[in-house]
Structure 1
Amino acid sequence: MSAELTFTPVSDIPQELIAGETGAIRQEAIDAIKHLDQWAAPQSVKTTLLNRMNKPHIRKSPLGTVLIIGAWNLPINLLLAPAVGAIAAGNCVILKPSEVSTHTAALLTRLLPKYLDPRTVRIINGAAEETTVLLEQKFDHMFYTGSGNIGKVIMMAAAKQLTPVTLELGGKSPAFVSKDVDIAVAARRLTFGKLFNTGQACIAPDYLIVERGIEQELVKEMKIAIQEFYGASPQTSQSYGRIINKNHFNRLKRLLDTTHGEIVAGGDTQEDDLYIAPTIVLNVQLNDPLMESEIFGPILPIWVVDTLNEGIEYVNSKDQPLALYVYSHNMKLADHILENTRSGGAVINDSLIQFMVTALPFGGTGPSGIGNYHGKRTFDIFSHERATLVKNLGMQKALTISYPPYTEKKTSWLEWLLFDKVKYADNAILKGKL
């Protein structure tokens, strides 16, 4: 497929909106338009000698009708990114925006029918009651982004209909900071990653694991970065957002009020403005309320350790996070951390940017999610791989070795034609080294 793609840049949209929402969706759509013929083409497969004259291949077909439930923190991206792949794969799509992001849900409900055929794509709004009714319906796939608790509800509803699911959940994503790192650079990148969308991102660094001896310098540089990004008063900055609603504001404020760590930056809150300042909490211990669950806000606890192996042990004792970050000049150390931990995704020496690379799979593992998507993977999620083989009606005599009556000679020929040959000397299993 060939298409000329032109877009008019919108200069008055904040950069976070472009990076996290509209730009990301645009790229997903561009990828689908450019590569759809390739994604949807039948895929040949290699086979053994007996079937080499046939045409075994995989055909891609739509699943049918799919349900996509979005999240409130990136309400456009997390609803429409999976929809791009679902539509490209030929499915009918039911979209359920988050009821928390009411204005965005209203906008999408008004605009999408103008551009997408309502016989193919429909939006259904509502809260828990409406979603419960929706989940009672039969779908061919359910795709959900949000909390683990609701993910369990989605999965239970899907199990009743034997419906496959993709769950994009969250978790406490750690960031390891080694003492050999360029502290100023690491501080700047961590500050951006934590405060993007006011910390309301499922892959934001949730807490830092910092080698002892650099914590004070790291805090100093992060304070400098905060002032550089948002000025002396972040509350008046046009680049600093707000907490989504009072429930989440109060949840975050309770965490600040009950922390045992030392608040070394920020800590200011204002309920009527839903404002929580960029906040750093130093010397947090593992029993601190800030370490209990995903923070999902602009509060960054720092746990100081003697060795990063302590951090590896702690991370492995908890649920696998959606993301894991390592800041270090020492690539052997970074590899050591990645090889001895598990996470949905990982980045060395930056934060968040993996989400913006559509060629990389995005998703969790274990409690942080089931399945991944972005780019071609989204198309594959919503496609059925139909195993297909085209058999030649000729050469029937050669096939008689497959039919009764069975003989030792037929068996010998069948084994030679059906299975790949393995040299005994090259295979430890066949040499008896199990």
Structure 2
Amino acid sequence: MSRYKDILTVEKDHLEDKKTISVDERIDNLINLKTLIKKHENILSMQKKYLEDKKTISVDERIKNLKKLKSTIKKYENDIIKALELDLGKHIFESYSNEVGFVYSSIDHTIKNIKKWAKVKKVKNDLAQLPGKSYIYKCHYGSVLIIGPYNYPFQLLIEPLIGAIAGGNTVVLKPSEYTVNLEKVVIEMIKDAFNEEYIAVVSGDYQVNSALLDLEFDYIFFTGSVNVGKIVMEKASKNLIPVTLELGGKSPVIVDNTANLKISAKRIMWGKLINAGQTCVAPDYVLAHEDIYDDLIKEFIKVTKEFYGEDIKNNKEFGRIVNDKHMNRLKDIIEYDKNKIVYGGEVDLKNRFISPTILKNVDLNDKVMSEELFGPILPVIKYKNMKDIKNYISKHKNPLALYVFSEDKAFSEDVITRFSFGGGCINDTISHVASNYLPFGGIGSSGIGSYHGKNSFDTFTHSKSIVKKNTKLDIKLVFPPYKNRINIIKKVMK
């Protein structure tokens, strides 16, 4: 039973919802978990055997499977978009541009470049490889587990799948249980396209995640919260499974006194409010120079009205919060800091609506600065100099993203080189994520590893070093006995 005992230490949020878990429930959980583990073990064994029998999945087969994935997504495109609307209130424009279309672009880019990425690469020799030639082979890891989040439940599940397919792996997908409608579509879609021995979908809650993480996958790719990321890494370490962790953090925006306020406000609020703020790289808080502080806040309010009008609640272009748990979390933040709200603050639990909310005169002691917000709430903080900026960012180190708005190139360069963060933009937000040519990932508490484009292929493949020596020439310098050879080796290796 030791393998299953960790399930009794359930996630904190689950305990808060349940208040207490009865003994009978715990016994049922353990029985169900044992059944789940057996089922998942069978899938994993089947996938490992599939790879063993095939030896490797050829690049041509991978391209064929990527094309099949794209054609199947097109077949289910309307269902995907409808599911995203039901789960997150996403407008079709956001669903297509940020989820479905994003994936199409990635598949096309991968198909176009995979042969070049997978090609055996000849590299230079050092002395030890002579007489011979040195090569790098890109090889699959094996059976990959991909656990997706709820905020972009399609894109953040399928985007790593593209890399895993390109790398020649088999895959188990675990969609978020919070987006139930999208989960159903993904299950049907993948089952329609692929056999379980190649790509399978597993559904369920945190118990299923826990069961999957106890299995001996060859690679784990996880997108989600920092706290759960730590659990994933701990479990993976028991079997020495390599991981990619795409996490989050409080991503700052710095606006100095040279910035174009109208453009800055538009681009900041766009990045903040798409998907109702449920974006891992969304601006989490703004550090605004004291000279432009009040004017910037006025621009924030103005542009929000321009985006969504006066009746935002009935605007279908503004999304909804995923569930009651996160509604209540955001409601508590708004109520705690309500005296600092200068715009918004409306909460409708029934319709899972939280209006765009701007807070003024915020400091580190406010609840809004205690954790990643992951909602349409934007605290704005006044700063005087770099010392103030350093003080705030040091309290939430290694954010997933950082943005700076300035017409001062020296200031912008100082900011992006001074601080440690995953990635970001100068005079924009979020756009760095939408590139097949830039790696996307965090650092420190915001994540481990990166993906997108070639970086996805590299993430899901191992670089195998191979030296091919000939037997026509045999250099005896390195073989014993070593008498009178030390001076020669010193000259060669100095």
Q: After TM superposition, is the score higher than 0.5?
A: yes
Name 2:279's counterpart in structure 1.
Answer: 201
Name 1:404's counterpart in structure 2.
Answer: 480
Name 2:147's counterpart in structure 1.
Answer: 69
Name 2:187's counterpart in structure 1.
Answer: 109
Contact 1:66/1:92, CA 8 A, preserved across alignment:
yes
Deviation at 1:261, TM superposition (A): 5.2
Taking the TM superposition and a 5 Å limit, the aligned residue runs for 1:246-395 are 246-259=324-337, 262-395=340-473
Gaps of 5+ in 1: 422-434
Single out whichever of 265-274 and 2-11 deviates more from structure 2.
2-11
Query: Which of 290, 295, 307 is the matching residue for 1:229?
Result: 307
- Residues 140-183 of structure 1, C-alpha deviations (whole Å, 9 max, x = no match): 11110000111111111111111111110000000000011110
Contact 1:210/1:308, CA 8 A, preserved across alignment:
no
Single out whichever of 13-22 and 2-11 deviates more from structure 2.
2-11
Q: Which stretches of structure 1, 4 residues or longer, exceed 4 Å deviation after superposition?
A: 1-13
Name 1:178's counterpart in structure 2.
Answer: 256
Contact 1:256/1:267, CA 8 A, preserved across alignment:
yes
- Residues 80-130 of structure 1, C-alpha deviations (whole Å, 9 max, x = no match): 111111111110100000000111110000111212333210000000112
- Give the SS at the match of 1:94: strand
CA distance in structure 2 between the partners assigned to 1:292 and 1:50 by the alignment: 54
Considering only aligned residues, what root-mean-square deviation do their CA atoms show, in Å? Answer: 2.1
CA distance in structure 1 between the partners assigned to 2:454 and 2:330 by the alignment: 37
Taking the TM superposition and a 5 Å limit, the aligned residue runs for 1:50-129 are 51=129, 53-129=131-207
CA distance in structure 2 between the partners assigned to 1:215 and 1:381 by the alignment: 42
CA distance in structure 2 between the partners assigned to 1:297 and 1:234 by the alignment: 15
- Give the SS at the match of 2:276: helix
Single out whichever of 256-265 and 132-141 deviates more from structure 2.
256-265
CA distance in structure 1 between the partners assigned to 2:188 and 2:469 by the alignment: 51
Name 1:431's counterpart in structure 2.
Answer: none
CA distance in structure 1 between the partners assigned to 2:452 and 2:401 by the alignment: 16
Aligned positions, number: 416
- Residues 193-236 of structure 1, C-alpha deviations (whole Å, 9 max, x = no match): 00011100010000000100212211221222112211221111
Contact 2:131/2:473, CA 8 A, preserved across alignment:
no
Q: Which amino acid aligns with 1:406?
A: Y
Gaps of 5+ in 2: 1-58, 82-90
- Give the SS at the match of 1:34: helix
Contact 1:261/1:283, CA 8 A, preserved across alignment:
no
CA distance in structure 2 between the partners assigned to 1:57 and 1:117 by the alignment: 34
- Give the SS at the match of 1:284: coil
Whose helix fraction is larger, Structure 1's or Structure 2's?
Answer: 2
Single out whichever of 206-215 and 258-267 deviates more from structure 2.
258-267
Contact 2:400/2:442, CA 8 A, preserved across alignment:
yes
Taking the TM superposition and a 5 Å limit, the aligned residue runs for 1:120-199 are 120-199=198-277
Contact 2:252/2:285, CA 8 A, preserved across alignment:
yes
Contact 1:401/1:411, CA 8 A, preserved across alignment:
no
Deviation at 1:49, TM superposition (A): 4.5
CA distance in structure 1 between the partners assigned to 2:127 and 2:228 by the alignment: 50
Name 1:432's counterpart in structure 2.
Answer: none
Q: Which amino acid aligns with 1:173?
A: S
Deviation at 1:53, TM superposition (A): 4.1
CA distance in structure 1 between the partners assigned to 2:153 and 2:220 by the alignment: 17
Contact 1:170/1:369, CA 8 A, preserved across alignment:
yes
Query: Which of 118, 124, 136 is the matching residue for 1:40?
Result: 118
Contact 1:261/1:285, CA 8 A, preserved across alignment:
no
Deviation at 1:311, TM superposition (A): 1.3
Single out whichever of 114-123 and 172-181 deviates more from structure 2.
114-123
Deviation at 1:320, TM superposition (A): 1.1
- Residues 216-262 of structure 1, C-alpha deviations (whole Å, 9 max, x = no match): 21122122211221122111112111111111111101101001652
Q: Which amino acid aligns with 1:341?
A: F
Percent identity of equivalent pairs: 37
Deviation at 1:50, TM superposition (A): 5.5
- Residues 314-335 of structure 1, C-alpha deviations (whole Å, 9 max, x = no match): 2124331000010000010111
Name 1:22's counterpart in structure 2.
Answer: 100
Contact 1:176/1:308, CA 8 A, preserved across alignment:
no
Q: Which amino acid aligns with 1:117?
A: N
TM-score, scaled to structure 2: 0.80
CA distance in structure 2 between the partners assigned to 1:89 and 1:158 by the alignment: 20
Contact 2:338/2:345, CA 8 A, preserved across alignment:
no
Q: Which amino acid aligns with 1:156?
A: E
Contact 1:325/1:351, CA 8 A, preserved across alignment:
yes
CA distance in structure 2 between the partners assigned to 1:407 and 1:19 by the alignment: 70
Name 1:425's counterpart in structure 2.
Answer: none
Q: Which amino acid aligns with 2:480?
A: P
Deviation at 1:44, TM superposition (A): 1.6
Contact 1:261/1:288, CA 8 A, preserved across alignment:
no
Single out whichever of 114-123 and 174-183 deviates more from structure 2.
114-123
Name 1:219's counterpart in structure 2.
Answer: 297
Deviation at 1:188, TM superposition (A): 0.4
